[in-house]
A and B are shown apart, each in its own frame.
Chain A
Amino acid sequence: MSLLHPKDDTKPWTGRYQPYDLVKEACIAIGVIALLAIVAAVLFSSPDDKPSTVAQWSRQLPVDFVKTAATELDGTSGTATYGPPYNHESGSVQHFLFLHPQRWLGVSHPINTAEDYVIGPLETVPNDPTLQRALDEYTSAPEKTQKAWGEAYAKPLEEDAEAEEEGKPLPKTVTVNATTGTVGVQASGTGPVPTMMTSLLSLARSGGLDGSLLTSRQFFQTDYTKPLLFMADGGLLDKRAEEQHLGGDEWGMMNETGSYPGQAWLWLYALWYQIEPFKNSPNADILVMLIMGVLSVAFICVPFIPGVRDLPRKIPIYKLIWREHYRAIRPRSSA
């Protein structure tokens, strides 16, 4: 007996056998499970809420779209400041003690938010000399000037978003034309940024930005990283998720739209995000992943873990499972 090899007095079974038809049992089980799945499919169907598009976002939440685009341009959005695997920033880089795996694995899906989300798509717009001049002015300006223009333009939009979130009266510096859906931002020192943003909003409303973000590399494209991260920086996905109770504080991604069970097996993973210190930790993700990693290894190693492996003998649920067997041998012993 050792720590890894506990005392095991289980002997091979030398008792009686009963007839058993393995193949028949398997066929019946497949039939029953298939029937249950078909009945559930007929009764409850499955969720399929249409995906959001950039076009939809720009039409439904034009101010949020322009605000997000402005932060992509000035490099202050969630994606722009994320860090690996998208860029070399550190906004969402997490670590635990000496473990910095996010940093170690580096930038594998590079995203330059200003270029990929704003300048690149705008360069595809044909026959617009005003936009072309604005782009030339922006791209030829020093980085410091570009940043100053972007921040000056983004400031009223951020104030507007804050006021909306806090339920305060909205400032008059941001207006939306109900007819055209265009967004007006009153700010000085913004350079060519307003022209660029107006064109980007127009491109997005037409659906052109969806295609531009997806086909930036090649015609056949299956990588939605760029459009998804752009949309995740904005408010439309969050808004829809909140309406469906899918927020992180409501067990997040283990849920599914509608009243479907979702990924209930992720309950333990989602649980940690609901409690302190993980709930408000800047390193919550790596902490939860590490805990789940340790628990997963422990789960595999149950037969070797003292205490855990001994619990079934101390809480005799096995007597319930094998009650027929124990009942069968008891009368004989007392006879």
Chain B
Amino acid sequence: MSGAPENSWTVKVREKAVEALPPEKLLPDGQPTYVASWIYVFGVASIASLVVIITSGSILALKGPAWWHYTGIGHFFNSIHMWSVELFFFVMVVHLWGKYWMSAWRGGRTRVWITGAITFLVAVPTALTGYVSQQNFDAQWISTQAKDGLNSVGVGAFFNVTNFGQMYSFHVLLLPIAVVVLVSAHVLLVRRHGVVPPIELHARLAIVPGSEAPAPAATAVGADS
């Protein structure tokens, strides 16, 4: 260590961060036995879809917005981008429904639900700005249709769906940053609070002798806070 003074902001931030999310909790190597359903796959599938969206979108952005219209490889990457968006929304909606039926906000996890719900809501305009940035007939039609709803509530004054330049900026930079920040916050909150236990779990455990076996030392810190 460098022997930083006690009032170092850096040290304080580090200590707070490690206290909130020690490495074993951030990257656990074990999880509660109740995490045994296909529904849990849809959370990580949402993140995986986002990775594919960002990767394919980055390739499209690197080559410029017109590239995919006149090259086969560009069209292929556009197709990957579009289908990963479709997959993203599909798995995210299943994930959200799953979490709703689990009442996944229980046990001090309301912020987990809120960040997840806001992520979905921010993902919608992120996709919309992509559709109106396509520079094809879909973009013409969708933008001229979408403008009336946005204008009616005054949003059109500063978010003009018929302005390709503005929509492209929103699509490739501003809204993806918002989605990534929200997803990061969501995942960190999940890691901090752990996966929500089954409903009425504690009541059942109370009548089940021997069901509360001590967790392995390496994974005990991964227990719900």
Chains A and B come from one and the same complex = yes
Evaluate contact between B31 and A20: CB separation under 8 angstroms: yes
- Chain A 220-243 near chain B by CB (<8 Å), digits 1 or 0: 001111001101100001001100
Evaluate contact between A36 and B136: CB separation under 8 angstroms: no
Q: Does A98 contact B (CB under 8 A)?
A: no
Evaluate contact between A17 and B105: CB separation under 8 angstroms: no
Evaluate contact between A22 and B83: CB separation under 8 angstroms: no
Evaluate contact between A30 and B48: CB separation under 8 angstroms: yes
Query: Per a CB cutoff under 8 Å, which of A13, A42, A225 touches B32?
Result: A13
CA distance A29 to B87 in the complex (A): 12
Evaluate contact between A108 and B118: CB separation under 8 angstroms: no
Residue of A with least CB distance to B118: A300
Q: Which residues of B139-169 are within 8 A (CB) of A?
A: 139-146, 148-154, 156-158, 160, 162-166, 168
- SS of B interface (majority): helix
Q: Does B212 contact A (CB under 8 A)?
A: yes
Q: Does A32 contact B (CB under 8 A)?
A: yes
Q: Which residues of B72-102 are within 8 A (CB) of A?
A: 75-76, 78-80, 82-84, 86-87, 89, 91, 93, 98, 100-102
Q: Does B15 contact A (CB under 8 A)?
A: no
Stretch of B4-12, B173-181, B194-202 with 4 or more beta carbons under 8 angstroms from chain A: B194-202
Evaluate contact between A325 and B34: CB separation under 8 angstroms: yes
Residue of A with least CB distance to B39: A321
CA distance A326 to B160 in the complex (A): 52
Q: Does B117 contact A (CB under 8 A)?
A: yes
Q: Which residues of A205-232 are within 8 A (CB) of B?
A: 222-225, 228-229, 231-232
CA distance A299 to B96 in the complex (A): 11
Could you say which residues of chain B place their CB within 8 Å of the CB of A263? 127-128, 131
Could you say which residues of chain A place their CB within 8 Å of the CB of B29? 19-22
**Do A13 and B79 contact each other (CB < 8 Å), given the known contacts A33-B49, A313-B199?**
no
Interface residue ranges, A against B (CB under 8 Å): 8-23, 25-26, 29-30, 32-34, 36-38, 40-42, 44-52, 84-85, 92, 94, 101-102, 104-106, 108-109, 222-225, 228-229, 231-232, 237, 240-241, 246, 248, 252-253, 256-257, 260-261, 263-266, 269, 283, 285-286, 288-290, 293, 296, 299-300, 302-304, 309, 312-313, 315, 317-318, 321-326, 328-329, 332-333
6 chain-A/chain-B pairs, Cβ below 8 angstroms:
A11-B107, A37-B80, A223-B164, A286-B153, A332-B209, A332-B210
Interface residue ranges, B against A (CB under 8 Å): 27-37, 39, 41, 44-45, 47-49, 51-52, 56, 68-69, 75-76, 78-80, 82-84, 86-87, 89, 91, 93, 98, 100-103, 105-108, 110, 113-114, 117-118, 120-121, 124, 127-128, 131, 134-146, 148-154, 156-158, 160, 162-166, 168, 194, 196-199, 201-202, 204-205, 207-213, 215-216, 219-220, 222-225
